[in-house]
Amino acid sequence: MKNIILIGMKACGKSTVGKILAQKLGIDFVELDIEIEKAHLLSKKESLNFREIFKKHGSVYFRQLESKVLKDIFKEKKIKEFVLSCGGGTPLNENNQETIKSIGEVIFLDADKKVLLPRIIKHGIPAFFPFQNDPEKSLDELLEKRKPIYEKVADKTISFTKETPQQLMERIINFFSRHSREDGNPDD
């Protein structure tokens, strides 16, 4: 089996699904945001979570660090299989798109807007929402921009509304088992 890269909007379930998928497959789970935090700590000797890094050092620094970490993960993990959960903005960078596609099979977790909105605003309106007073309009605009990019990068899109992380994990595994049978190589 190839590495599995999960992409999609914030709060679509990439980390939750990724952890149980990796556990089921017996492979490593890598959370890009956590790897960014580790790299920032090494670089700046400053312990911040990924939101604080973005807020304090700005989007340019954050996105450059994100791209570097993504490439480093690929180099470090080349011999090991893993599931990688990307940040919602990771695939928006064209260089990241190439890196993501070269790492493995890309799955876009396409959560319905009705599922996403309450999850995203649960802890307050995120800073990246363009209309702070209108979260629904913000999400609509972001989805309009991001969804075509996610779909372009993805090898498989999994759209869902009410499915549990367990059910999503099973859909991903079913996709890979069908995919490898179609390729005629059960060990792929």
Binding residues for Mg(2+), by number, are 15
Cβ(29)–Cβ(18) under 8 Å?
yes
β-sheet bridge partners, residue 135: none
- Whose tokens are 């372009």? That residue is 152
Feature table: binding site for substrate: 33, 63, 88, 146
Backbone dihedral region for residue 112 (phi beyond 0: left; psi -120 to 50: alpha; all else: beta): beta
Going by C-alpha positions, the residue among 65, 79, 60 that lies closest to residue 34 is: 65
**What are the strands, taking DSSP E only, across the chain?**
4-7, 28-31, 82-85, 105-111, 156-160
Tokens of 59: 């989007």
Residue type, position 125, single letter: I
Cβ(120)–Cβ(140) under 8 Å?
no
Feature table: binding site: 11-16, 33, 63, 88, 146
Feature table: binding site for ATP: 11-16
Cβ(164)–Cβ(178) under 8 Å?
no
- CA 62 – CA 162 distance, rounded (Å): 33
Q: How many CB atoms lie within 10 A of CB 18?
A: 26
